[in-house]
């Protein structure tokens, strides 16, 4: 762990443009809250600690952050009034202020920017180290349309000069396409000294971290600038449209990682694979599938098209889930198949079993979910309904349209047919 870094995550914004009762940083993106992605960014720096700045009554936000932070100490600072990013950092200052054990530098992240990569953040920290004693660094992006953003102005030698807000920029300055993202790395000692000097003498009456860049430059301290190689990393989430755009980017990264690991995905644009899914090499994902966080898929499996694998689903090696099939809290044994129009809920299907088209495992009685066990090499005929709880032993066959009632007493190798299903007499029994 690099004890030279402390990360502050600003997450006190109200997010009114989301027009949602859910706090902005808790909106789900690829199967986890937005804030959890940002905590991962912080963890990529190996920090000594993390400070989360929140508004009042933000218990749910804090809970998500603590879970995502795992074993890294996380402290919470409350910004009682929304008075700008500088004010938010003042609330956090106790975590890196007059403390002899304070890390050497403080990195500022935002709870609504999920796309930053570890490489970009490492570059920011390295830039701060190059800035010299008391120096700072900031991340920028070059964009096609900089309207509304603060412009980063450089000298003829490319060195940082200052930041000018769009409303204050001249026509020539507005032609600059390099924008300030508000992402900084500071000397912790200098930051603690400069924060009390921030002024809110502006139209908005707010305190801005941006002003610290000017303070550093005026004092002759180094200000290093690093521009993102991919400006998309700098996307912040302010409304549902931007949330969807960020999800598209993250989904692309997730799918690309699986494909690098040997998973065949026919149409990555329609494969919705959430964070934290495990897929073995040689598995084939067909178009239009939804695979939820935590699902485990073995090697040599097939999923889709038009399949949904919900939480708790495990496909062992060689299992196949086909079109318009939904699994929830279900284990499919090695080589087991459910190829068509089937619902598998709270079910354990043994190896090599075959689940016919239109089968439903009726797991819910209106009050409680119940489990069903299907044995190895069982053959469940098309249109069968199995009412849980139930056990279908190894080698059992059910006829098309059979309704296996709750707790049926079925023996291994038997055939059951009808509504309600009954044991079908074998030729030997009839003689």
The residue assigned the tokens 């991340």 is 139
Q: Within 13 Å of residue 202, how many CA atoms lie on the same side as its CB?
A: 14
Tokens of 196: 């009390």
Beta-sheet pairing, 178-187 with 136-142 = antiparallel
CA distance 324 to 301: 16
Sequence-ordered list of residues with C-beta below 8 angstroms from that of 128, at least 6 positions apart, any chain: 105, 135, 136, 137, 185, 186, 187, 224
**DSSP 3-state assignment of 262?**
coil
CA distance 209 to 190: 13
Cα→Cα distances 261→198, 281, 282, 299, 357, Å: 49, 6, 9, 11, 32
**DSSP 3-state assignment of 46?**
coil
CA distance 133 to 221: 7
The closest of 337, 338, 339, 333 to 351, measured between CA atoms, is 333
Per DSSP, the residues of 154-212 read: E-TTS-EEEEE-GGG--HHHHT--EEEEEEEEEEHHHHHHHGGG----STT----THHH
Sequence-ordered list of residues with C-beta below 8 angstroms from that of 88, at least 6 positions apart, any chain: 10, 12, 53, 77, 79
Known catalytic membership, residue 340: yes
**DSSP 3-state assignment of 7?**
strand
Q: Can you name the residues that pair with 297 across neighbouring β-strands?
A: 279, 315
CA distance 31 to 272: 10
Work out the angle between the directed axes of helices 85-92 and 210-218 (0-180°, nearest 10): 80
Per DSSP, the residues of 365-424 read: -SS-B--EEE-TT-EE-TT-EEESSEEE-TT-EE-TT-EE-TT----TT-EEETTTTEEP
The closest of 7, 108, 13, 6 to 58, measured between CA atoms, is 13
Check 6, 27, 258, 340 and give the catalytic one: 340
Which residues are identified as catalytic?
340
């Amino acid at each position: 762990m690099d004890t030279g870094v402390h990360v502050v995550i600003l997450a006190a914004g109200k997010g009114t443009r989301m027009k949602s009762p859910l706090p902005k940083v808790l909106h789900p993106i690829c199967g986890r809250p937005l804030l959890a992605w940002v905590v991962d960014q912080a963890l990529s720096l190996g920090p000594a600690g993390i400070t989360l700045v929140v508004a009042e009554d933000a218990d749910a936000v804090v809970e998500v952050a603590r879970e995502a932070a795992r074993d890294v100490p996380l402290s919470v600072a409350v910004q009682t009034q929304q008075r700008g990013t500088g004010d938010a950092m003042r609330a956090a200052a106790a975590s890196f202020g007059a403390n002899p054990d304070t890390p050497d530098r403080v990195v500022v992240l935002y709870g609504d920017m999920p796309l930053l990569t570890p490489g970009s953040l490492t570059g920011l920290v390295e830039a701060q180290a190059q800035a010299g004693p008391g120096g700072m660094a900031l991340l920028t992006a070059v964009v096609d349309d900089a309207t509304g953003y603060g412009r980063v102005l450089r000298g003829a030698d490319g060195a940082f000069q200052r930041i000018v807000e769009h409303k204050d920029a001249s026509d020539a300055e507005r032609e600059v396409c390099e924008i300030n993202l508000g992402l900084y790395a500071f000397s912790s000692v200098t930051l603690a000294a400069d924060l009390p000097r921030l002024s809110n003498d502006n139209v908005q009456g707010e305190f801005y971290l941006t002003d610290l860049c000017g303070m550093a430059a005026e004092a002759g301290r180094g200000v290093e600038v690093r521009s993102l190689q991919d400006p998309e990393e700098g996307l912040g989430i302010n409304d549902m449209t931007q949330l969807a755009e960020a999800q598209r980017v993250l989904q692309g990264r997730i799918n690309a990682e699986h494909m690098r690991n040997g998973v065949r995905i026919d149409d990555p644009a329609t494969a919705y694979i959430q964070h934290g899914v495990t897929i073995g090499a040689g598995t084939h994902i067909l178009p239009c599938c939804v695979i939820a966080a935590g699902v485990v898929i073995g090697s040599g499996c097939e999923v889709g098209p038009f399949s949904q694998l919900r939480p708790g689903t495990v496909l062992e090696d060689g299992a196949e889930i086909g079109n318009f099939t939904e699994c929830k809290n279900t284990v499919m044994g090695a080589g087991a198949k459910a190829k068509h129009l089937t619902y598998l809920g709270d079910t354990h299907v043994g190896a090599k079993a075959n689940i016919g088209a239109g089968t439903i495992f009726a797991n819910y009685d209106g009050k409680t979910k119940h489990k069903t066990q299907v044995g190895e090499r069982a053959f469940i005929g098309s249109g069968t309904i199995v009412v849980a709880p139930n056990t279908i032993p190894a080698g059992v066959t059910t006829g098309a349209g059979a309704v296996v009632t709750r707790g049926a007493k079925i023996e291994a190798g038997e055939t059951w047919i009808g509504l309600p299903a009954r044991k079908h007499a074998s030729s030997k029994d009839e003689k």
